[in-house]
Amino acid sequence: MSQILKVESNTDDVTAKARKVLIAGGVIAFPTDTFYGLGVDPFNQTAVDRLFALKGREKNKPLILLISEKEQLEKLVKNITPAHSILMQKFWPGPMTLLFETSGIIPENVLAGSNRIGIRQPGNTMTRKLIAELGHPITAPSANLSGEAPPITAQQVLQSLENHLDLIIDGGTCQGGEPSTLVDAVNTPIQLVREGAIPFSEIKAIINENNEPVYPGVQE
């Protein structure tokens, strides 16, 4: 049966144990801004393949990565555009995933044939601490079988994935609702890829406030 660790006031033990599982190639479930996600070391090909298999995820669907701090972007992406900077300043940490052009170090099975990588700095402080202890990003697809509703509690994760996980971090009930908003800000105009928790109208307003003249034609 999957081990469940409940998050108390002191998260040191939880993050330390989760780090050991990730380093060993394990799969964990953990709370994010909206739902529970599945975390593996993205640089461990076997762990990534296992994640795809246990979730029943199509091989052509890239994975999103979570970072603990913006400085981790430097090795992961080729370029940070003015639009990226504006949106990160306003909406990170939080439920906004930004697409970047990859620098080339991210494994192919994470990218699933794409030349873009979705990256987010989560609002959950325990999750950011775990990523910081690991020293590099973790994956974050929703912690459920493909086609099921994304879980907002550790118990829902357990019901969906039963004994396929090495560790479930019980951080209470996530807020649910919409997933993270996914925006491609590599080129102009920026494009909404997936509706989510942050309305695109709010995103456009922030871009326009920062005097980016090409963005009034933002595509929805």
Residue ranges making up the domain that contains 124: 3-211
Token representation of residue 77:
């992406």
In the chain, the number of structural domains is 1
Q: Is residue 18 part of a domain?
A: yes
Residue 187 lies in a domain: yes
Q: Which of 123, 162, 179, 121 is nearest to 29 (CA)?
A: 162
**Token duo for residue 179:** 């997933």
Whether 220 maps to a domain, the answer reads no
CA dist 188 and 43 (Å) reads 30
> Exposed (0-12), middle (13-18) or buried (19+): which is 129, by Cβ within 10 Å?
middle
Q: Is residue 40 part of a domain?
A: yes
Q: Which residue has the tokens 């993050």?
A: 15
Q: Distance between CA atoms of 182 and 197, rounded to whole angstroms?
A: 10
Tell me: the pLDDT tens digits for 102-158?
A: 998 999 999 999 999 999 999 999 999 999 999 999 999 999 999 999 999 999 999
* Sign of the alpha-carbon torsion through 126, 142, 186, 210: negative
219 lies in some domain: no
In tens, the pLDDT along 168-180 reads 999 999 999 999 9
Per-residue pLDDT of 152-165, as tens digits, reads 999 999 999 988 99
Query: Mind listing the pLDDT tens digit for each residue in 57-90?
Result: 999 999 999 999 999 998 999 999 999 999 999 9
Torsion sign over Cα 118, 70, 88, 86: negative
Asked if the structure places residue 216 within a domain, the reply is: no
Structural domain contains residue 217: no
Look up the CATH number of the domain holding residue 153. 3.90.870.10
C-beta separation of 43 from 22 below 8 A: no
Q: Is 25 helix (H, G, I), strand (E, B) or coil?
A: coil
Question: First and final CA of the chain: distance in angstroms?
Answer: 44
Domain assignment present for residue 164? The answer is yes
Q: What strand order describes the sheet that includes 64-66?
A: 138-139, 64-66, 116-120, 96-101, 181-184, 191-194
Q: For the whole model, what pTM was predicted? A: 0.92
Partner residues linked to 96 by β-bridges: 181
Query: Per DSSP, what are the bridge partners of residue 30?
Result: 37
* Tokens encoding 198: 């942050």
